[in-house]
Amino acid sequence: MEERTEVTTLGEFGLIDYLTRNIEIQQASTIVGVGDDGAVIDHFGKQTVISTDLLVEGIHFDLAYVPLKHLGYKSVVVNLSDIYAMNAIPTQITMSLAFSNRFPVEALNEFYEGVYAACETYGVDLVGGDTSASLKGLLISVTAIGEVAPGQFVKRSTAQKGDILCVTGDLGAAFLGLTMLEREKKIYLESPGVQPDLENRTYILGRQLKPEARKDIIEFLADQGITPTSMMDVSDGLSSEILHICKQSNLGVVLYEEKIPIHQETKEVAMNFGLDPTAAALSGGEDYELLFTLKQDDYDKITLNENISPIGYMTENSEGAHILTKGGNKYKLVAQGWNAFEQ
């Protein structure tokens, strides 16, 4: 039988002590960590970047198919992705959890194993947080702190006309991983005896369950001496994010469908589900790739990196935001893909 220790046996302070018992500080900037009213961070003359995200059970995740350890890992990664998207290096996080009494200490421990694994992978320190009861389900609130040399942060609003639009990695996989997990959950609920058939789709499932943030790209750009003119991370689907950059930079865009990077497995699974892989990339979400614009002069330097794809270019605002399809059509880009009725 699995162990089940009720949280009430530890109390709030006992629980925090238990979950944070193995913390090892990795960042020299962490002066005071968990265990006081606040943490103290010394950024040694750098600027501090801060970002925060909520993840709510039943809205953002479904514990029917998300292992708690993966959820802990992902909760951290999605926040670090925001810090990288500012061209900064994450250094600390705080993690707050509200949970109902259906979660025993063992479940929380599993969640924190994932949290600590992500902290180790990305070299960040967990420096604080809060725990509380919830009336229903699990709710996770993470705040990430990062640092950047003064003035080196990159916003969404500073793209220039003629800049090249680039995206990292590939898109649409996390959405198809989710689609597959949802299908298996549905089958399981209808016929509990049936084993899930995930068809060894390890790539797309991994992209959904254990995403990574693009630390490597931020390091590559720094090594190459490239500062993107604008940047953000891709969490809500490529279309929506491109439109954010357009709106905030007061520009238009031309996006080439054929340039959008999509993994072979994503294409295959999309076909099996009768979905258009491009639609999955444009509207799927949860990719946690970086979307950025570059001066044309920097183009040669990025061709060295196979994880960066140029996908379009920025235009005058008056030219609007469009996608050029493989079939040679030009459609207006909208937040949920494209609008075939308005060219």
Placement of tokens 């609008």 in the chain: 339
Q: Coil, strand or helix: which one is 294?
A: strand
Choose which of 72, 114, 128, 228 interacts with a copy of itself (CB under 8 A).
Answer: 128
Label residue 12 left, alpha or beta by phi (over 0 means left) and psi (-120 to 50 means alpha): alpha
Task: For residue 51, say whether it is annotated as part of any ligand binding site.
Answer: yes
Task: For residue 156, say whether it is annotated as part of any ligand binding site.
Answer: yes
List the structure tokens of 57: 């059970």
Q: Given the complex with a copy of itself, which of 79 and 266 has the nearer CB atom?
A: 79
To which H or E segment does residue 132 belong? strand 125-133
Binding to a copy of itself, residues 164-193 (CB under 8 A): none
Q: Given the complex with a copy of itself, which of 163 and 265 has the nearer CB atom?
A: 163
Q: Given the complex with a copy of itself, which of 156 and 201 has the nearer CB atom?
A: 156
* 8 A C-beta contact, residue 78 and residue 53: yes
Site string for a copy of itself, 198-237 (x = CB under 8 A): ---------------------------------xxx----
Choose which of 16, 23, 25, 56 interacts with a copy of itself (CB under 8 A).
Answer: 56
Task: For residue 43, say whether it is annotated as part of any ligand binding site.
Answer: no
* 8 A C-beta contact, residue 211 and residue 286: yes
Site string for a copy of itself, 15-54 (x = CB under 8 A): ----------------xx--xxxxxxxxx-x-xxxxxxxx
Residues 6+ apart with CB under 8 A from 186: none
139 binds a copy of itself (CB under 8 A): yes
* 8 A C-beta contact, residue 254 and residue 165: no
271 binds a copy of itself (CB under 8 A): no
64 binds a copy of itself (CB under 8 A): no
The backbone torsions φ and ψ at residue 276, rounded to the nearest 5 degrees and listed phi first, read -85, 120
Would you call 175 exposed, middle or buried from its count of C-beta atoms within 10 A (0-12, 13-18, 19+)?
A: buried
136 binds a copy of itself (CB under 8 A): yes
From residue 54, give the alpha-carbon distance in Å to each of 12, 17, 51, 208. 21, 23, 11, 17
Q: Given the complex with a copy of itself, which of 128 and 177 has the nearer CB atom?
A: 128
- Residues that constitute the known binding site: 37, 51-53, 60, 82, 112, 129-130, 156, 233, 235-236, 286, 338
Q: Which residues bind a copy of itself (CB under 8 A)?
A: 31-32, 35-43, 45, 47-60, 82-83, 85-86, 88, 92, 94, 96-98, 127-137, 139, 141, 143-146, 148, 150, 153, 155-157, 231-233, 248
